[in-house]
Amino acid sequence: MLEKTTRVNYLYDFYHPLLTEKQRSYMSLYYLDDHSLGEIAEEYEVSRQAVYDNIRRTEAMLEEYEEKLGLFEKFQKRTKIMETMKQLVDSSPTVSKELVSLVDELEKVD
Amino acid sequence: MLEKTTRVNYLYDFYHPLLTEKQRSYMSLYYLDDHSLGEIAEEYEVSRQAVYDNIRRTEAMLEEYEEKLGLFEKFQKRTKIMETMKQLVDSSPTVSKELVSLVDELEKVD
């Protein structure tokens, strides 16, 4: 369950600009602010079921975007390579400071 | 004009999985295979104007995706950093082979 939540959070992070404002509100209240379905339903004056359906549909959309663009997968690959790179750079006394700062810069692009 | 074409080609590269099959066909015939609007219209048995409108709309969609996700912009930033990184790595005799291959690996992720 926790792993699923983490995945949804990442996908939300990458693809939320493609969602509607309502989808973003529900998702961010539910996943980021940890509100219950009932609380969101009350706030928006809709049924709990409507909130539930909207969130499930949004999750499916996020997975579909990931299937098409694979931004999370690429991010994971890049992160893994960068970690090895940083270890290597940190443990080598001969590596130039410039290279260290380039690795840092690269990390900030995502 | 050439610069615009290059930009559209890049945007197409990043976002084509989000387009419909017809949009992809028109775009790839027009931009990648250099067919004329008239030739595409003939092949699909639609008016030249219909093809033109579809391509213009698709270009606008690609720009909208770029505005939201910025994949091309991030790619350019990453490429620039990586180029400096490669020059630095190539010109330093003390840099380990592992680091060189990590830079190569990173380049392949995009």
What are the boundaries of each domain within chain A? 2-69, 73-109
Q: Tell me: the pLDDT tens digits for A17-35?
A: 999 999 999 999 999 899 9
Q: What pLDDT, on the 0 to 100 scale, is given for residue A1?
A: 46
Residues A65 and A87: their CA atoms lie apart, in Å, by: 32
What's the rounded Cα separation, in Å, for the pair A21 and A2?
Answer: 25
A2 band by pLDDT with thresholds 50, 70 and 90: low
Q: Chain A residues with CB inside 8 Å of B78's CB?
A: 106, 109
- In chain A, which residues have their Cβ closer than 8 Å to the Cβ of B14? 69
The residue ranges of chain B whose pLDDT is under 70 are 1-4
Q: Which CATH class is domain B2-69?
A: mainly alpha
Q: How many other C-beta atoms are found inside a 10 Å radius of the C-beta of residue A69?
A: 20
pLDDT score, position B1: 47
**Mean pLDDT score across all residues of chain A:** 90
| pTM score, whole prediction | 0.87
Min CA distance, A61 vs chain B (Å)? 12
